[in-house]
Structure 1
Amino acid sequence: MPPNTDNKGGGIAQIALTVLAVVAAFLVLRFVVGVAMAIMKWIIIAAGVLFVAWLFMRDSGGGKRSS
């Protein structure tokens, strides 16, 4: 007995479900990328602050200047 390949009734519903799944995946990916970019922004800001603080700490080494 051949398999039932009559999909006329669920064609539009399947297309709508596929479009909905693609839109949901896009929104989730957009949210994840947005969170990752926000975290990276704060990491870069913190690294810059630490670098400037390190420069000031290195520069104020008890008044020992060679020049």
Structure 2
Amino acid sequence: RVFFTTLGHPYDFKNENVRRLAIQGILWALGEEDRIPEEGCPVAFVDAYDPPNSGFGEVYRKGHFPRR
């Protein structure tokens, strides 16, 4: 079995449904779907989750180049 998603931006995982999709998809791929509760896996954060934005963000600006 294979579970795959193109989701993955840190902000995606702020969404409870995305976290549940990932956890339950992994359990399914491992053949452990019997461990998935009927109401779905609990996916509450156990600690604060405040990820930085990924990618270039404010670092890249058109016309700017790396130092040599």
Do the structures match in fold with TM over 0.5?
no
Higher relative contact order (CA 8 A, sep 6+): 2
The TM-score, its normalising length taken from structure 1, stands at: 0.26
The TM-score, its normalising length taken from structure 2, stands at: 0.26
Q: Which has the larger radius of gyration?
A: 1
